[in-house]
Chain A
């Protein structure tokens, strides 16, 4: 299975600022996924990022707030823009779901606190 490196592992940010989270995969993957996990909650999918096309956002998430880049098949970034304390969460990237139904692999997450 793929190995994911996610950075930063944690950060404390001022409200109104933006944070860009990086996700690096050790192999080429077609689809990458970004999730949010709010305190005490389960994971919620933010968007699906395909190389060479615009990300597909889930209901309740918009590109202006969570812009995503996918410049190649091994890398993606998620930016949390104009942050407020409500954005304090763990953000995770994931890859997988290939045709032979390999398991999905998750990064270790970015723990974001907005003050």
Chain B
């Protein structure tokens, strides 16, 4: 798996956009970037993934740099329920690659 680097923690005010960065400088051309989050005492939840184009779904947006060495997960209007650990993962090998979890970013959304 390509190694990812994330800040250990971030804060965000409720209602504001949360921008979570991730570096993945060793990513290969056919490897996707996945984002998951884990709310306390729950299993990880899939958020979004992308290859090289920016992606948006009902939960978040994913911005991937042109060189694909970094990406940013954007929660456009953070709520208290978005407080969680956010993981940026680049599964290696084939499409059936296993996930290697780093320490992620603890996002705390404040009132």
Chain A interface (Cβ < 8 Å from any Cβ of B): 1, 30-31, 33, 35, 42-45, 48, 92, 94, 96-101, 103-109, 111
Of residues 27 through 57 on chain B, the ones whose CB sits less than 8 Å from some CB of chain A are 32, 34, 36, 41-49
Q: Is the interface of B mostly helix, strand, loop or mixed?
A: loop
- Interchain Cβ contacts within 8 Å, total number: 61
Of residues 89 through 111 on chain B, the ones whose CB sits less than 8 Å from some CB of chain A are 91, 95-104
Q: A43-B101, A45-B100 are in contact. Are A1 and B46 (CB under 8 A)?
A: yes
A109 surroundings in chain B (CB, below 8 A): 42-43
A104 CA to B97 CA, complexed, in Å:
10
- Evaluate contact between B49 and A101: CB separation under 8 angstroms: yes
- Evaluate contact between B98 and A33: CB separation under 8 angstroms: yes
B103 surroundings in chain A (CB, below 8 A): 42
- The list of the 10 closest CB pairs from A to B, nearest first, reads A103-B46, A106-B43, A43-B101, A42-B101, A99-B95, A106-B44, A97-B96, A108-B43, A109-B43, A92-B43
B91 surroundings in chain A (CB, below 8 A): 97
Q: A42-B104, A106-B44 are in contact. Are A31 and B96 (CB under 8 A)?
A: yes
- Evaluate contact between B102 and A42: CB separation under 8 angstroms: yes
B34 surroundings in chain A (CB, below 8 A): 103-104
Minimum CB–CB distance from A113 to chain B (whole Å) comes to 14
Q: What are 10 A-B contacts defined by CB distance under 8 Å?
A: A1-B46, A30-B96, A33-B99, A42-B85, A45-B99, A96-B46, A103-B48, A104-B34, A106-B43, A109-B42
Q: Which of B47, B48, B99, B102 has the most CB of A within 10 A?
A: B99
